[in-house]
């Protein structure tokens, strides 16, 4: 037995894919089937069935085709008509030209330019061609009515296609200034009609709400208080995680800490040296330029030594680390949160603070004092070179004066501040990273907030330390 199969596929109505499969044998009638995705073949006859796997399950695949002898050419011509431009419905029986039971879907009555449109039958995609033709003819034939009433009480069924055509009919009279009055709409179709009515409509922008100054101040105060509470809570969580690491040293991720020290410490040395060197040069040049008026060029060494070792060295390095490493911490943890890696850690039984925050925090606490020392020495080197070239202060004179102007207290003050500033930067950066939402906008906002908050807190902390050391005469 020699069999030949051919498949014709066309798009009909609301994106339904109708398929025709033909199997020809050497003898006997051919077997055909038309279905929306299923498979059923009856020798010499066409059987209509429901396909529960189709997205529109429960809808009869081809309506109006009964069981009987089938002409293959007639079916193929009917299906090919779907691609020739205007759509034609498969709405007649295999023998004869009898219309469907619901062929008349819209009736129109006009009196004194007042239009009454009555819908009936099934406003569904099964009658897409008849329904669309009726809607378009009604809109063209009655373009300027003085009043419009649409009665849907006789509509038995309606799907999204019928609701869409109903909305098209209403909008066709939008330019007349007459609002159609709808009655008889079944409650179960009301939501569907409302959804179709919202399609394609521009939403007005939300009205701008102008807050009073006191109201805005109150909102900002509440936000600041909430941020402070979250920061204190995270400080407690970090301290608790460090305590668990001390009690169980084997759980400490030493490799992760060393990796972070390399990233925030060693790789930051070049930029730290460059910036602090330039700042030392600027301080010395401005000091010599102004002190020269009073013949006190040598006091530039005193000024640079105290400022760099006590205040500016650690402050400049901390601000640079907040912008460089703090933002990196926030971006890393924020990206992990967006990809749900932090949730995965919790599911596996790991504490994200212990796994992710503690190594970063300890690396920053160790690296920042070392960077502060390197930055201070670089700044003094820049000041010494400028003093020599611009002020005529030779290096040996510069070093002798520096030894007499400063003592270990000046150096200790700057180094004591460094670990506290490092902890502040690390906690703020990690907290903002863990608060990132699921969008890139949230990641950018929290990264910006991390840098701004860290720099602000570092400056505040420097002021607090300045008052504290002044109070203890140090």
Is the CB of residue 50 less than 8 Å from the CB of residue 57? yes
Residue appearing with tokens 């004591």: 416
Is the CB of residue 401 less than 8 Å from the CB of residue 302? yes
Report the pLDDT value the prediction gives residue 129, as an integer from 0 to 100: 85
Residue appearing with tokens 């920061």: 231
- Phi and psi at 33, nearest 5°, equal -150, 145
Report the pLDDT value the prediction gives residue 198, as an integer from 0 to 100: 74
Integer Cα distance of 335 and 350 in angstroms: 18
Integer Cα distance of 377 and 107 in angstroms: 94
Give 200-239 as a 3 state SS string: CCCCCCCCCCCCCHHHHHHHHHHHHHHHHHHHHHHHHHHH
Mean pLDDT computed over 147-152: 84
The alpha carbon torsion through 237, 243, 246, 252 (nearest 10 deg) reads -10
More confident residue, 189 or 26: 189
Report the pLDDT value the prediction gives residue 271, as an integer from 0 to 100: 96
Query: Hey, what long-range contacts does 71-77 have (CB within 8 A, 24 or more apart)?
Result: 72/22, 72/30, 72/32, 75/20, 75/32, 75/34, 75/46, 76/8, 76/20
Burial (CB count within 10 angstroms: exposed 0-12, middle 13-18, buried 19+), residue 20: buried
pLDDT surpasses 90 at 366: yes
For residue range 228-246, what is the model confidence (pLDDT) as tens digits? 999 999 999 999 999 999 8
Domain ranges of the chain: 4-83, 106-198, 223-471
Integer Cα distance of 125 and 130 in angstroms: 10
The CATH code for residues 106-198 is 3.30.750.24
For residue range 114-139, what is the model confidence (pLDDT) as tens digits? 888 888 888 888 888 888 888 888 88
For residue range 161-205, what is the model confidence (pLDDT) as tens digits? 888 888 888 888 776 777 788 888 888 888 888 877 777 666 666
pLDDT surpasses 80 at 57: no
CB atoms within 10 A of CB 3: 9
Q: What is the CA radius of gyration of the chain?
A: 41
Question: To which H or E segment does residue 274 belong?
Answer: helix 269-291
Is the CB of residue 355 less than 8 Å from the CB of residue 386? no
Mean pLDDT computed over 445-474: 94
Report the pLDDT value the prediction gives residue 104, as an integer from 0 to 100: 61
Is the CB of residue 304 less than 8 Å from the CB of residue 283? yes
Q: Give which of 353, 372, 453 is closest to 417, Cα–Cα.
A: 372
- Phi and psi at 298, nearest 5°, equal -65, -20
- Residue 441 binned pLDDT confidence (cut-offs 50, 70, 90): very high
Mean pLDDT computed over 247-273: 93
Is the CB of residue 450 less than 8 Å from the CB of residue 426? no
More confident residue, 157 or 71: 157
More confident residue, 209 or 345: 345
CA 7 to chain centre: 44
């Amino acid at each position: 037995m020699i069999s030949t199969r051919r498949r014709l596929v066309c798009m009909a109505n609301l994106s339904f894919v109708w398929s025709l499969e033909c199997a020809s044998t050497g003898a006997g009638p051919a077997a055909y089937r038309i279905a929306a995705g299923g498979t059923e073949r009856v020798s010499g006859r066409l059987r209509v069935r429901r396909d529960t796997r189709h997205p529109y399950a429960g809808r009869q695949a081809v309506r109006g085709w009964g069981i009987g002898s089938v002409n293959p050419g007639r079916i193929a011509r009917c299906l090919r008509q779907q691609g020739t431009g205007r759509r034609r419905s498969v709405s007649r029986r295999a023998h004869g030209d009898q219309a469907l039971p619901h062929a008349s879907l819209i009736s129109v009555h006009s009196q004194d330019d007042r239009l009454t449109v009555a819908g009936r039958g099934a406003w569904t995609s099964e009658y897409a061609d008849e329904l669309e033709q009726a809607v378009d003819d009604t809109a063209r034939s009655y373009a300027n009515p003085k009043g419009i009433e649409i009665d849907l009480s006789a509509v038995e069924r309606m799907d999204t296609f019928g609701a869409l055509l109903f909305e098209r009919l209403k909008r066709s009279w939008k330019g007349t200034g007459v609002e159609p009055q709808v009655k008889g709409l079944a409650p179960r179709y009301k939501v569907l009609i409302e959804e179709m009515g919202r399609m394609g409509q521009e939403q007005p922008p939300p009205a701008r709400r102008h807050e009073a100054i006191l109201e805005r101040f109150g909102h900002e105060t509440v936000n600041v208080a909430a941020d402070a509470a979250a920061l204190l809570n995270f400080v407690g969580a970090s301290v608790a995680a460090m305590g668990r690491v001390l009690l169980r040293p084997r759980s400490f991720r030493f490799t992760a800490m060393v990796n972070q020290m390399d990233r925030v410490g060693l790789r930051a040395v070049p930029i730290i040296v460059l910036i602090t060197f330039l700042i030392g040069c600027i301080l010395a040049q401005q000091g010599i330029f102004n002190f020269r008026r009073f013949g006190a060029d040598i006091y530039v060494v005193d000024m640079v030594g105290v400022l760099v070792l006590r205040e500016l060295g650690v402050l400049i390095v901390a601000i640079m680390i907040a912008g460089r490493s703090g933002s990196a911490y926030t971006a890393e943890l924020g990206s992990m949160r967006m990809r749900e890696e932090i949730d995965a850690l919790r599911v596996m039984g790991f504490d994200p603070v212990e796994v992710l925050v503690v190594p970063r925090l300890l690396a920053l606490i160790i690296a920042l004092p070392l960077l502060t020392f390197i930055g201070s020495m670089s700044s003094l080197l820049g000041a010494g070179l400028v003093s020599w070239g611009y002020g005529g202060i030779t290096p040996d004179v510069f070093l002798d004066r520096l030894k007499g102007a400063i003592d270990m207290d000046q150096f200790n003050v700057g180094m004591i501040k460094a670990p506290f500033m490092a902890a502040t930067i690390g906690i703020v950066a990690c907290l903002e990273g863990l608060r990132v939402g699921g969008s890139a906008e949230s990641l950018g906002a929290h990264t910006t907030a991390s840098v701004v908050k860290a720099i602000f807190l570092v400056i505040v902390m420097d002021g607090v330390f300045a008052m504290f050391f002044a109070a203890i005469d140090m």
